[in-house]
Amino acid sequence: MNIAILFGGSSYEHEISIVSAITMKKVLKKSTLTYIFVDADREFYLIDTAKINSKLFSSGDYKKSKPLILKKGGFFTEGMFGSKKVDFDVVLNLIHGRDGEDGKAASLLTFFSVPFISPRLEASALSYNKLYTKFLAESLGVKTLAYEHLSKNSERKIMMDYPVIIKPVRLGSSIGVSIVKNENELDYALDVAFEFDNDVIVEPFIDGVKEYNQAGCHTGNWELSIVEEPQKEEFLDFEKKYMDFSRDSQVLSADITEELKTGIQHTFKTIYDPLFRGSIIRCDFFVVNDEIFLNEINPIPGSMANYLFPDFEGMVERLSKALPKEKTIHVDYTYIHSIQSAKGKA
């Protein structure tokens, strides 16, 4: 199978995407990989799989690679003798943050009829924005923590008790996230968050809360990962998460009851189906007093959360054969022809 890894993007998580993409060489060992890089100026480049490494991008040497054009049916190189289509079976969208998770890539690939693994437009919009994720969960009957929403120009005042956690609405990887233990720390935390986004969510910080991650997809059958209990610290900052994105080895299942595991998996399925068909996502959950709360949806998790699956590569191949298809709309201009006939202009 030939998989095109789409990565980079105009995003604060651009470098994380590069790390995730390089990791796929260790993970997708049986597949042929084609690397398509989107730089910060949103230009596409075909990257030599044999030469891909982090320095290629930090040095700017990627610009010596072949530029690509996206048009009907795929990506193309342009040369003296015309266009040549880049050969691959499916695109794996690995652009973290803006461009990849907000729906832009999904819209482009859908518009140009390129098969891809990633959330579609509506799913991207709802999962990329933490406020909209709250609305989605509420509509599905899935519990989330209480929250307040502040925008950059609103009064810097919150109603909930401290400590709280401040999160930019449209960012992942703990970028701009702060724990605020008292009112004196609020202004600084908001200054940090508003450097990255015009909107933030404020949630109660619950010390000692249990956290679990569940990833999966639907390939005609449910393919769910193990339930992971992530590394427990006050919270994982950007640096720790950045290193975590390069994981390519299996982790152990959380030591939880079968009842809790079933509850987490049921909640995951409720969120996933049907909105996230065609994608591999990871949902992060809190468990408080035996109740399951959705923390957030990771529509394109770091390194695709490959380390949570026993057969990640096989799952990718199976998913590539079960992608949602847009309805074909036949336009025959019947309405316009009827108007012209009525006016005697047929």
Residue range 2-118 in CATH 3.40.50.20: yes
Residue 238: is its pLDDT beyond 80?
A: no
pLDDT at 11: 93
Q: Do domains 125-144+208-320 and 148-204 have the same CATH topology?
A: no
- The CATH superfamily of 125-144+208-320 is ATP-grasp fold, B domain (3.30.470.20)
Residue 232: is its pLDDT beyond 80?
A: no
pLDDT tens, position by position, 111-165: 999 999 999 999 999 999 999 999 999 999 999 999 999 999 888 999 999 999 9
Q: Read off the pLDDT of each residue in 281-289 and give the average, rounded to a whole number.
A: 96
pLDDT at 324: 96
Distance CA 227, CA 216 (A): 10
Residue 181: is its pLDDT beyond 60?
A: yes
The CATH classification number of 148-204 equals: 3.30.1490.20
pLDDT at 266: 98
Q: Read off the pLDDT of each residue in 36-64 and give the average, rounded to a whole number.
A: 97
Residue 346: is its pLDDT beyond 60?
A: no
The length of the chain in residues reads 346
Task: Say which amino acid occupies 306.
Answer: N
Cβ neighbours of 152 (radius 10 Å): 12
Across 185-194, 245-254, 297-306, least confident range: 245-254
| Backbone conformation region of residue 9, classed left if phi is above 0, alpha if psi is from -120 to 50, else beta | left
Residue 237: is its pLDDT beyond 70?
A: no
Q: Where are the beta strands (DSSP E) in 10-145?
A: 32-38, 44-47, 66-71, 74-79, 82-85, 90-93, 116-117
pLDDT at 207: 84
| Residue with more model confidence, 213 or 242 | 213
- Which tokens in the block code for residue 289? 């007093």
pLDDT tens, position by position, 66-101: 999 999 999 999 988 889 999 999 999 999 999 999
Enumerate the domain spans of the chain: 2-118, 125-144+208-320, 148-204
Distance CA 157, CA 19 (A): 38
Task: List the one residue out of 183, 173, 181, 176 whose CA is nearest residue 200.
Answer: 176
- At 234, is the pLDDT very low, low, confident or very high (cuts 50, 70, 90)? low
Residue 179 to residues 152, 176, 194, 196, 209: CA-CA distances in angstroms?
A: 18, 10, 15, 16, 14
pLDDT at 174: 78
